[in-house]
Amino acid sequence: MLYTVNVIAITLADLGDSGAVLPLIDLLRNPKTKGNRGTLLYALEFFDVSEQVVVLVDLLDDTFEASRQSYQLISNVQDKITKAQKELCRQMIRRKLADHKNKCKRDFLLESLELFT
């Protein structure tokens, strides 16, 4: 399944049609892709993902690769994020900070919080 998902993600990105964003986001949300979301996030680099920023924030404490790619995607659309989205994202990150004891993840989340100030 993973190979198929990766092929689909790259194909959707290659098409360049913004209609690919929602199917890619749906795949990111699927628990079966946990630990293997790198290609899905890579495929999103070709699109404006400002409307999906909340989904990306949710991945900031995922695997190392997924968290860093999510951060990059967010930073790419940072100037397009609405005030309401920024507030929601700040709240999400603060909740994540309260839940994490891992210093590296906490440090990264604190750095990520700056994207929304």
For residue 69, what are the domain limits? 2-116
Percent with pLDDT over 70 in the chain: 97
Distance CA 50, CA 53 (A): 5
- The band of 2, judged by pLDDT with boundaries at 50, 70 and 90, is low
CA torsion, ordered 33, 88, 80, 54, to nearest 10 deg: 10
pTM of the model: 0.90
Helix ranges restricted to H, 16-102: 21-29, 38-44, 53-58, 64-76, 83-99
Give me the residue label for tokens 């440090």: 107
The torsion angles phi and psi of 34, rounded to 5 degrees, stand at -55, 135
* Number of domain units in the chain: 1
Which token pair is 111?
């750095």
Summarize the confidence of residues 54-81 as an average pLDDT: 96
Summarize the confidence of residues 54-59 as an average pLDDT: 96
Contact between 7 and 39 under an 8 Å Cβ cutoff? The reply is: no
Q: Cβ neighbours of residue 111 under 8 Å, at least 6 residues apart?
A: 71
